[in-house]
Every structure is written in structure tokens, then in C-alpha cells.
Amino acid sequence: MTKGGALGLGLLALIGLIHLPYPFHGDQALFMIYAQALDSGRALYADVWDVKQPGIYLLFWLSGKLFGFSEQGAHLLELVYLLAASYFMTRTAPFRRPWLLPLCLYGTYYASAAWQELTQVEILVSPLIYFCFWAAWRKDERPWVMWCAGLAVGFVALLKLALAPIPAAVLLVGTRSAAAWLRVALGAAAVWIPVAAWLARHDALGWMLWTTLSYPGESIRFRGMNSPVQLLQSLRWFAVHFLPWVIAAAFAAPLVWKDRRSPMIRALVVWIAMAAASITAQVISWWPYHFLLLMPPVAVLAMMAMDRLPGRWPVAAALAGLLIFTPQMLRKVRPLTWGALTGNPTASVRYQNAVSPTYAEVWKNTGFLRASDARPGPMFVFGTPLYLWLTGRRQEPGLDGWGVQFHVPSQWRTFTEDLRRTRPVYVFAQADSGALARQRWPEAMAVLDEDYRVKETSSAGTWYELSTPSAAETQIGKQPMQIVGVKAQ
């Protein structure tokens, strides 16, 4: 590796390390909560349910087993993974200074990302799609390359099935023979067969198939499309947060037209078109982080333009682009301490409260749960899973309360039955989510009115407490409850 390559990876590692104690958003908190549920023997889709494919929960489970079930653990595994991908890009990108590609791509990702964007599927699939892009532009059909490409397609599908057409379409540019595609198919099957067997062993395969194939259509029919304004706002977010490379990519347009028949340009155009189509097809959400799919191909275009600059100007342009995000980085670095970086619980909480108003609000609103007279047992949250994550309470029932607006009638009916059966000790209805749940399915909220009393109400929402002793109290009295979140330890 060249000195520039080592310097680029070192700088990227430093930027990534700063984010180790960075707080979770609701999505990442849910991923980690469900990873802990899997670790305790609960079955995905059968015991705990969310709309996403199993890959992200298995990835968070792996981070927990390797580095601890914590923010630091999840972010450390992501950093190691992206550094490995960056090393591969440094060795394979077709530019004079290939190490600038991962630095511009993942350096900008880390520098500009807030807690909503970190460790999302859309950035995690980028190295896998890049591998297929590399194989396609080289027209490399060697057996090991096709096997690995198949594994890449399989892992993309495992993380998010709707994104699997992107690497498959990119491969079409340079992969022609039937033997090569057979190896791709076998590689993808090698990913899914053990996962399907694992789900079947836990009687969850049918639920996974319903979640993947039937639920999205039912949710669209029940909820309808999101507002196109949301799509435009998310596009604006991408343009602002990736601005230096969007501008540089625009200067590559003449190069793209000139070399439009080359395998690399055709693969790149397919990558951009399929990513844009995937974003547009997600009509019930259109969240900003979906546009992370466009960051890698736009970064490649930007590098094509910068690669034409003389001398060391490409390096200067890349570093200038990263310096634009200095204000965001300073906001993350100022409250950072060595204790937070190394996982000290007190220092981590102090740092996370300083950079995330949501963390501070959750800690404030859950103070009574840390009191000595707090009742043991599970709880349910209509709203952000951060309430479960930061209190360490076991979730019951197993339905995701973070996606109230997306649930379909059959789920609400099952949830009402499960709420009566599991009888969580506490239920928190966050202001907006609780109001929406009462509007969409009043039968479920009627259970709270019948079996629970209002413990306290604030602008954040309403806490309900079970009126009668719970199963946890009748069986174990005041013994310590099962902890599933590191914050409660």
C-alpha cells in the first residue's frame, strides 16, 4: 500500500473512531434490542416483529457478541467493515490515487451523518454493490469472483430484499455466461439457505415470508403513499450533505458521455438508475437515509472528474471537500471524552445526552423506572425504542411500536390479544404515536383504559401502569428484572 493509501485509511479510521459512542436513533435502538432478543432465544418475526429482513438484526447480534451490545459495539463493527471495504477500494479503484475514493465516500458519510443515518442498511450494502461493480466493469468471470459476487447479492438481499436488484443488474453489464450466473445463484443461495433453516427451526419462516412478500402491499393499501414533499426533502438532504461530490460529479458528465460504451460507465449508470428506482419505489417512507444508496456511485463520478486534475490537486480537492463538514465534526468532538470512547457507562451517557436531545429527554422521562420502588417486568412503547433501550426493559408484546403508522389491521388485532395476554407492567404512549394508535385501533387502546391507570402525563406522552400485579411480580416478587439493555446495568 502507498503512503497515501495508509494516510487515507488512517484519517478515515480517526473520523470513524470519533463516532463509536455516538447515540442510537430509534431504528438502531430497535436493531440492538432485537439482537439481544435473538441472543436470549427469542425468534425473529414470531416472538419479536419488525418489517426489515433478518440481516440487520443478525449484524447487530454479531456486533454484540464481538464487541458488546452497546452503541460502541455496533459502531465498531461498522467501522471495521467499512475500513476493510476501503482497503479493497484502495487496491481496485481505477484512479491515479484510488485511496481518495473511500476517503471521500466514507469520510463524508461519517462527517455529515447524524444518529439517524449511522449504521443504516443503505450504507452497509455499499461495499457489496461495489464488489459487483468491480467485477462487472472488468468482465471478470473467474469462478471465485462469481462466487463472491453471489455472496454479495445474497447478503444485500439478507439486509434488504428490495435492494438485491441493484447488484444483480450491475453484474449484468459484464457477466454473460450461464456458468458464471450459476455460481452467482449458488453464492446467493449459500447465504439464504442457512438463514431460512434457522427461521424454520424457530417456526418463523412463514412469518418472514409474509413480512417480505405480503406485508408491504397491505401496508400501502392501508396507509397509502407518503407525501412527495418527503421525497423532495430527502433529496435535498442528500444534495446538501454530499454537496462537494455532487458538484464534482456534475463535471464528470462530459467524461461519461465520451466513454458511454465502456463497461465501467455502463455499470455505473445502471448502479445509479437502479438505486434511484429503489428509492422511488419505497413509497411509504422516502426517508433521507435511503439516499445513502446514491453516495457510492456519485463518489465514483466525482473521482472521475478529480482524477483529471493535474499534480496533487485531486488530494487538495478531496481534503477541501471534507473540511466543509468541520462544523458538524466539531459538534460531535467537543463533548467527547476518553471514557466515552472506551465505553465507560457514565461517560457514555454524559456524551450521548450532550449530542442527542432525545437521549436527554428519555433519561428525564424514565427516572421513576430507576427508583427502588419501580415494579419489575416488561413494558411496551408506542414510539421510539430508545425508551426500551435506555431503561433495559424487556419488550412485550413483540410487535414493533416504532412503526405504528405502518401496521395493518391483522397486526392490530393480534396486538390487542397479545397485550391482554402478556400484560406489560408499564406502557408508554409517546404523544404522536399514542394518538395515532388510538385513532387507528381504539380496541387496543381500550385495553389500557380498562386494565391500566395513568401514572403520569407530560408533553412527551403518557405512562400507563398495570392496575393489578403482573406475572413478574406474582412469580418473583421484587427480584431484579431481566435486563436486556446495557444502559440499565
- For 25-38, what is each residue's pLDDT tens digit? 999 999 999 999 99
- For 220-236, what is each residue's pLDDT tens digit? 888 888 889 999 999 99
- For 351-370, what is each residue's pLDDT tens digit? 999 999 999 999 999 999 99
Work out the number of other CB atoms within 10 angstroms of the CB of residue 477.
Answer: 9
Handedness of CA 344, 350, 354, 358 (dihedral sign): positive
Reported as a pLDDT band with limits 50, 70 and 90, residue 479 is very low
In this predicted structure, what is the pLDDT of residue 473? 62
Cell readout for 379 is 413494558
In this predicted structure, what is the pLDDT of residue 474? 62
Locate cell 485511496: which residue?
Answer: 99
Averaged pLDDT for residues 182-202: 96
Question: Which range among 97-106, 171-180, 343-352, 478-487 shows the weakest confidence by mean pLDDT?
Answer: 478-487
Averaged pLDDT for residues 389-406: 92
Handedness of CA 430, 433, 435, 437 (dihedral sign): negative
Cell readout for 410 is 391483522
Averaged pLDDT for residues 106-130: 94
Averaged pLDDT for residues 441-468: 92
In this predicted structure, what is the pLDDT of residue 435? 87
Q: Say if CB 452 and CB 466 are below 8 A apart.
A: yes
Percent of the chain with pLDDT over 90: 75
Q: In the 3-class helix/strand/coil scheme, how is 1-66 assigned residue by residue?
A: CCHHHHHHHHHHHHHHHCCCCCCCCHHHHHHHHHHHHHHCCCCECCCEECCCCCHHHHHHHHHHHH
In this predicted structure, what is the pLDDT of residue 478? 42
Rg (CA), the chain: 24
Work out the number of other CB atoms within 10 angstroms of the CB of residue 349.
Answer: 18
In this predicted structure, what is the pLDDT of residue 475? 58
User: Can you tell me the distance from the alpha carbon of 486 to that of 148, in angstroms, rounded to the nearest whole number?
Assistant: 36
Q: Say if CB 115 and CB 25 are below 8 A apart.
A: yes
Averaged pLDDT for residues 237-248: 91
Cα–Cα nearest to 229, from 288, 180, 281:
288
In this predicted structure, what is the pLDDT of residue 416? 93
User: Can you tell me the distance from the alpha carbon of 234 to that of 291, in angstroms, rounded to the nearest whole number?
Assistant: 7
* Res 477 pLDDT > 80: no
In this predicted structure, what is the pLDDT of residue 161? 95
